[in-house]
């Protein structure tokens, strides 16, 4: 994404100027749609929240710079929402998407009875009573710390992604406080009143207003913000929103049957941030890849590896399709998995229910739908939608076969399968490359054709020739032992488990983690994990 310096491209529909540019709001809107799926809210929740926030910002006569912060913070509010789902799913043994939605939007965390009711509904609901009781007691003891850790991870990763997308510092800082509440009851730092940036107060209010409008209509939304005035919500912002709500135009835009996208794009403030480039779109595809892969400890770095393999095969294969589109599609091929609970993603395949299998089979469709909203990604979107089709017609979601499947999608499929086999899964350890190729040979003519498998085999044979690579210099001044600790932490091991794995004390692991966080400039496990993915440290 662009920085705020440099010339502003002209509208691609205008006269003279550079080649057609890419709207930043299109790219962030797609990320917002993916976030809606990941947090279990109706599609376009984030867009409608942005619409509300911008109406409110204008009502409050915010200066242009603050309106920019409100706009982009609103679209990126949930950009870190995949950062803690795998960890919370392990603790709760349930669909954490629904649990998180109910926790954030329907549970007063200051009311012990409400919190206990939430725990009773969502913590280990299908486990034996003794195990369930143990989990509930443990969560009750550590609940506040768990909530704080979860929101801290979410905010840290959202800020990191915003930085990688070229967002200004004000947006990055706002994302660290976007879940704080006026009376100090929010997370992760418990900020209060005017200590919370104004953009955060506006965005937080707008998000809740939208959720309750979607479920309870106008009166439900208005009742919520009146009850929350001076508690969760800034009184001045509530009063401004109540004034805006008297305008018919506000409701017309919010409830339009045509959807909020055109209105949200029209509200994007004038600045050099409005446009991005093809190169920066590639960076956005990497950000979307990491957003999706953080759903499970088993998938960290997966999409980056698949993209590298697919690109190598395509160049060796002399594929006629645009390699840039193939790389973008390979990076984003699993974006639709954000709609699947981490609890399901971390289950052994043989234990999935029929409903859970159907959720998994829909992920190429979800990914294609999300990416299709970005004109520059529509060719990549079609490949994402086809990457789980099989040449024998038994794939999903459309049951295409043979020549109906784009060759580039088959290249992504064979790269995806190889990476899947050569890394740990919930029900098995990683295969060696040779064993993975042997397994894939047995799938020829079914899952994929020799036309794309042979270039993979050739590429791997070529890559394995030669001497061993030289010893790496780790980024950030990390030591070999610190990289070992970081790898285990990224895969979700606790300090105690890491200590047992490395035959050291738990306090030694804690010290290592403190040093790691200080060296790489992060404050949470999720941010450290993202650093490990970005720098290819997962081994």
Q: Which SS3 state, helix, strand or coil, does residue 421 take? A: helix
| Residue located via tokens 């409050």 | 60
What DSSP letter does each residue of 429-482 carry, written as one string? PPPPHHHHHHHHHTTBTTTB-HHHHHHHHHHHHHHH-SSPPPPPPPGGG--HHH
Q: How do residues 456-476 score in pLDDT, each as one tens digit?
A: 998 887 555 444 455 678 999
| Tokens standing for residue 280 | 């920066």
pLDDT (0 to 100) of residue 322: 84
**CA-CA distance, 191 to 182, in Å (whole number)?**
8
The H or E element that residue 30 is part of is helix 24-39
Q: Is there a shared CATH topology between the 277-464 domain and the 475-534 domain?
A: no
What number of other Cβ atoms are within 10 A of residue 476's Cβ? Answer: 16
Record: fold of 22-82+161-272: Hypothetical protein af1432 (1.10.3210)
**CA-CA distance, 80 to 39, in Å (whole number)?**
10
Q: How do residues 282-321 score in pLDDT, each as one tens digit?
A: 999 999 999 999 999 999 999 999 999 999 998 877 766 6
Handedness of CA 223, 225, 229, 232 (dihedral sign): positive
CATH 2.40.30.10 corresponds to the domain 277-464: no
Domain range summary for the chain, segments of one domain joined by +:
22-82+161-272, 85-156, 277-464, 475-534
Q: Are 91 and 135 in contact (CB under 8 A)?
A: yes
Q: What is the pLDDT along the chain (539 residues), one digit of tens a residue?
A: 433 333 333 333 333 444 457 999 999 999 999 999 999 999 999 999 999 999 999 999 999 999 999 999 999 999 999 998 888 888 888 898 998 888 888 888 778 888 889 999 999 998 998 999 998 888 888 877 888 888 999 999 999 999 999 999 999 999 999 999 999 999 999 999 999 999 999 999 999 999 999 999 999 999 999 999 999 999 999 999 999 999 999 999 999 888 899 999 999 999 999 999 898 999 999 999 999 999 999 999 999 999 999 999 988 777 666 899 999 999 999 999 999 999 999 999 999 999 999 999 999 999 999 999 999 999 999 999 999 999 999 999 999 999 999 999 999 999 999 999 999 999 999 999 999 999 999 999 999 899 899 999 988 875 554 444 556 789 999 999 999 999 999 988 889 999 998 888 899 999 999 999 999 999 999 999 999 999 999 87
**CA-CA distance, 54 to 206, in Å (whole number)?**
9
Q: Are 366 and 113 in contact (CB under 8 A)?
A: no
Handedness of CA 440, 444, 448, 452 (dihedral sign): positive
The CATH number of the structural domain formed by 475-534 is 1.10.10.10
**CA-CA distance, 344 to 363, in Å (whole number)?**
13
C-alpha closest to that of 331 among 373, 282, 366? 282
275: phi then psi, degrees, rounded to nearest 5: -125, 150
Q: Which residues contact 101 (CB under 8 A, 6 or more apart)?
A: 39, 40, 41
DSSP for residue 275: E
């Amino acid at each position: 994404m662009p920085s705020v310096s440099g010339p502003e491209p002209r509208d691609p529909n205008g006269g003279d100027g550079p080649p057609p540019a890419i709207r930043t709001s299109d790219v962030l809107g797609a990320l917002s749609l993916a976030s809606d799926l990941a947090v279990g809210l109706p599609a376009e929740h984030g867009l409608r929240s942005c619409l509300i926030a911008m109406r409110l910002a204008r009502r409050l006569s915010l200066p242009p710079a603050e309106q920019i912060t409100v706009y982009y913070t609103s679209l990126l509010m949930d950009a870190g929402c995949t950062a803690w789902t795998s960890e919370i799913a392990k603790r709760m043994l349930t669909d954490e998407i629904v649990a998180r939605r109910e926790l954030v939007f329907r549970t007063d965390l200051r009311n012990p009875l409400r919190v206990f009711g939430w725990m009773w509904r969502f913590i280990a609901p299908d486990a034996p009573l003794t195990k369930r009781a143990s989990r509930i007691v443990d969560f009750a003891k550590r609940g506040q710390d768990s909530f704080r850790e979860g929101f801290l991870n979410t905010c840290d990763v959202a800020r990191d992604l915003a930085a990688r997308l070229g967002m200004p510092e004000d947006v990055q800082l706002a994302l660290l406080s976007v879940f704080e509440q006026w009376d100090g009851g929010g997370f992760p730092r418990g900020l209060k009143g005017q200590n919370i940036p104004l953009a955060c107060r506006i965005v937080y209010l707008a998000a809740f207003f939208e959720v309750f409008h979607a479920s309870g209509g106008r009166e439900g939304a208005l009742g919520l913000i009146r009850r929350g005035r001076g508690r969760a919500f800034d009184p001045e912002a509530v009063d401004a929103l109540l004034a805006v709500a008297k305008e018919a135009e506000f409701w017309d835009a919010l409830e339009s049957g045509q959807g909020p996208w055109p209105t949200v794009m029209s509200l994007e403030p004038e600045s050099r941030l409005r446009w991005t480039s093809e190169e920066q779109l590639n960076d956005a595809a990497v950000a979307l890849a990491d957003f999706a892969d953080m759903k499970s400890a088993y998938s960290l770095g997966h999409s980056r590896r698949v993209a590298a393999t697919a690109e190598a095969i395509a160049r060796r294969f002399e594929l006629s399709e645009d390699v840039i589109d193939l790389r973008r599609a390979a990076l984003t091929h699993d974006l639709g998995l954000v709609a699947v609970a981490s609890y399901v993603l971390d289950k052994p395949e043989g234990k999935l229910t029929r409903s859970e299998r159907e959720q998994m089979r829909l992920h190429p469709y979800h990914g294609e739908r999300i990416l299709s909203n970005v004109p520059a990604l529509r060719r990549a979107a079609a490949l994402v939608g086809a990457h789980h089709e099989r040449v024998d017609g038994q794939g999903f979601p459309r049951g295409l076969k043979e020549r109906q499947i784009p060759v580039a999608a088959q290249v992504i499929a064979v790269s995806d399968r190889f990476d899947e086999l050569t890394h740990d899964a919930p029900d098995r350890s990683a295969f060696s490359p040779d064993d993975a190729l042997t397994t894939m040979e047995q799938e020829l003519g079914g899952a994929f054709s020799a036309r794309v498998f042979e270039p993979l085999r050739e590429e791997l044979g070529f890559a394995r020739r030669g001497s061993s690579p030289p010893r790496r210099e780790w980024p950030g001044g990390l030591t070999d032992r610190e990289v070992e600790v970081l790898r285990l932490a990224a895969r979700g091991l606790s300090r105690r488990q890491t200590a047992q794995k490395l035959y050291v004390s738990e306090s030694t692991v804690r010290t290592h983690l403190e040093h790691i966080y200080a060296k790489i400039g992060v404050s949470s496990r999720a941010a450290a994990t993202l650093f490990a993915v970005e720098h290819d440290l997962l081994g």
